[in-house]
Amino acid sequence: MSVPPASFPRGWFLIEWSDQLAPGQARPLRYFGRDLVLFRTEQGHARLADAHCPHLGAHLGHGGEVKGEQLQCPFHKWRFDSAGGGCAAIPFTQRSPRVGLTMWHVHEHEGMILAWYHDQGAPPSWDFPDYPHLGQAEWLPWEGVEWRIKSHVYEITENDVDCAHMPAVHDFCEDVPATEAVVDGALMHVTMLTEVTLSTFGMKGHILAPAQTTKVGLGMLLVSQTIEQHGRTIDFRTIGTFTPIDEDHVHIRARHTVKRMDIPGLAWFVMRNYCKTFKATVEQDIPIWENKVYRQRPPLSEADGPILRFRAWAQQFYPGGEALIDEDQQAEAG
């Protein structure tokens, strides 16, 4: 497939959900076309490093052991400091060579272990935004779903400003949604007003429902949607994440929750239907994402929505902000 200028955009990406990594665990991962080791120290710090030992190249995710705040290689038991990656100890010797693991910038926040990707290894240039804590007294436990597909994160994040595909591909709406996209640095706030078919949520009828999405770079969508129906407010939250596995594959993960309601079981009923609808919706998109090409200069129609505004915003995540669009289109995008 043809992709935008650089394979992987810069920014924050989900590496793992926090509850999937216990203290003392170390495991192999592959993202950004690189072999990685993810581990959690005994004090609870989540760490991510390039996988291969600087000594003789063993993979620290296959048999590496967490020892306090250090990670020990399975091959000759060299130990590495988890904060800076430096070699901290070598068995049977007093002196350690000045080598170390390449550590990634990791930020753990509200159940997400996030890593900063930059093709030149530069430190984070923007902070991951605060996500509100959704305590389980008020909200149902998160329900997750995931896919590994052949695509590029760019294609997936462009999808929800692509208004014309909504009624064409998806069952939940019958008309092109009114969509507004507001740029806020590395964030883009998208408000979408659409006629939602309530049968997809286990209810009857149609309703005009606003959905607020904040795009956090090209790796994540934070979605909040409120539906007023029969005197009740139904509140949904979704965290959708897209992490590049390699140049042609993306790991898509999502987590949903629904606010608890006065009738016991109603929130669970809505949640089950919402999860089913979300999964079906993404699976309607996947065959298109897996087989499409990237059009540098698409001939757009009025119905297409703020695709050019999105493309102008997205340039900041690529080296030198390489032109995803030409100057005319940029001017038009405003």
Residues of this chain that bind ligand FES (CB under 6 A): 53, 55-58, 73, 75-76, 78
- State which residue, 56 or 182, has the beta carbon closest to ligand FES: 56
Tell me the closest approach of the beta carbon of residue 91 to ligand FES, in angstroms. 9
Q: For residues 75 and 268, which CB has a smaller minimum distance to ligand FES in the complex?
A: 75
Q: Looking at beta carbons only, is 128 or 172 nearer to Fe ion? A: 172
Report the residue from 96, 159, 214, 273 that binds Fe ion according to the rule CB under 5 A.
159
Q: How far is the CB of 66 from ligand FES (least distance, A)?
A: 15
In angstroms, the CA 70 to CA 28 distance is 16
Contact 160, 170 (CB under 8 A): no
CA nearest 306: which of 326, 281, 334?
334
The interface partner of residue 56, options being Fe ion, ligand FES, none and the CB cut-off 5 to 8 Å by kind, is ligand FES
The Cα 300–Cα 292 span in angstroms is 16
Q: Which two tokens stand for residue 123?
A: 């430190």
142 contact, one of ligand FES, Fe ion, none, CB 5-8 Å limit per kind? none
The answer to the question of residue 155 lying near Fe ion (CB under 5 A) is no
83 binds, among ligand FES, Fe ion, none (CB under 5 to 8 A by kind): none
158 binds Fe ion (CB under 5 A): no
| Residue among 90 and 183 whose Cβ is closer to ligand FES | 90
Residue 159, binding choice from Fe ion, ligand FES, none, Cβ under 5 to 8 Å by partner class: Fe ion
CA atoms within 13 A of residue 20's CA, in its CB half-sphere: 10
Q: How far is the CB of 240 from Fe ion (least distance, A)?
A: 11
Contact of residue 273 among ligand FES, Fe ion, none (CB under 5-8 Å per partner type): none
Residue 11 CA to residue 126 CA, distance in Å, equals 8
Give whichever of 7 and 159 is closer to Fe ion, judged by the CB atom: 159
Site string for Fe ion, 255-294 (x = CB under 5 A): ------------------------------x---------
| Least distance CB 169 / Fe ion (angstroms) | 6
The distance of closest approach from Cβ of residue 71 to ligand FES in the complex, given in angstroms and rounded to an integer, is 10
- Build a one-symbol-per-residue string for 114-153: x at contacts with Fe ion by CB under 5 A, - elsewhere: ----------------------------------------
Closer to ligand FES by CB, 56 or 331: give it: 56
Q: What is the 3-state secondary structure (H, E, C) of the chain?
A: CCCCCCCCCCEEEEEEEHHHCCCCCEEEEEECCEEEEEEECCCCCEEEEECECCCCCCECCCCCEEECCEEECCCCCCEEECCCCEEEECCCCCCCCCCECCECCEEEECCEEEEEECCCCCCCCCCCCCCCCCCCCCECCCEEEEEEEECCHHHHHHHHHCCCHHHHHCCCECCCCEEEEEEECCEEEEEEEEEEEHHHHCCCCEEEEEEEEEEECCCEEEEEEEEEECCEEEEEEEEEEEEEEECCEEEEEEEEEEECCCCCCHHHHHHHHHHHHHHHHHHHHHHHHHHCCCCCCCCCCHHHCCHHHHHHHHHHHCHHHCCCCCHHHHHHHC
Q: Which is nearer to Fe ion, 235 or 285 (CB)?
A: 285
Least Cβ distance, residue 102 to ligand FES (angstroms): 14
The one of ligand FES, Fe ion, none whose footprint includes residue 53, by CB under 5 to 8 A per kind, is ligand FES
Which amino acid makes up residue 196? V
User: Which spans of this chain sit near Fe ion (rule: CB under 5 A)?
Assistant: 159, 285
